[in-house]
């Protein structure tokens, strides 16, 4: 089941592409949606494991942020 829909991906890309006069193919949208969903699953698993390690029953913002620190996401 896709958590991040292809429609949401189209909206994200349109925000940047239309300014440049560029469109996106349906297969590119599907590929990006699949990639984002895999990454979301990876982040969720990490966050749950982090909460369990800390002996908590809830995933908190700091669990998600810990993933960010682990992989070093940078804002463009």
72-75: Cβ within 8 A, 24+ apart = none
Domain containing 18 equals: 6-71
User: In this structure, is the dihedral angle defined by the CA atoms of residues 46, 52, 58 and 61, taken in order, positive or negative?
Assistant: negative
59 lies in a domain?
A: yes
Phi and psi at residue 60, to the nearest 5°:
-115, 170
Judged against a pLDDT cut of 70, whether residue 1 lies above it is answered with no
Per-residue pLDDT tens digits for 24-33: 889 999 999 9
Judged against a pLDDT cut of 80, whether residue 69 lies above it is answered with no
The model's pTM is: 0.76
pLDDT score at 28: 92
pLDDT score at 22: 84
39 lies in a domain?
A: yes
32 lies in a domain?
A: yes
20 lies in a domain?
A: yes
């Amino acid at each position: 089941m896709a958590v991040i829909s292809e429609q949401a991906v189209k909206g994200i890309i349109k925000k940047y592409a239309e300014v440049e006069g560029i469109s996106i193919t349906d297969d590119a949208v599907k590929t990006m949606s699949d990639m984002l969903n895999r990454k979301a699953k990876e982040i969720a698993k990490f966050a749950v494991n982090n909460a369990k390690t800390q002996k908590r029953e809830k995933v908190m913002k700091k669990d998600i942020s810990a993933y960010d620190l682990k992989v070093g996401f940078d804002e463009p």
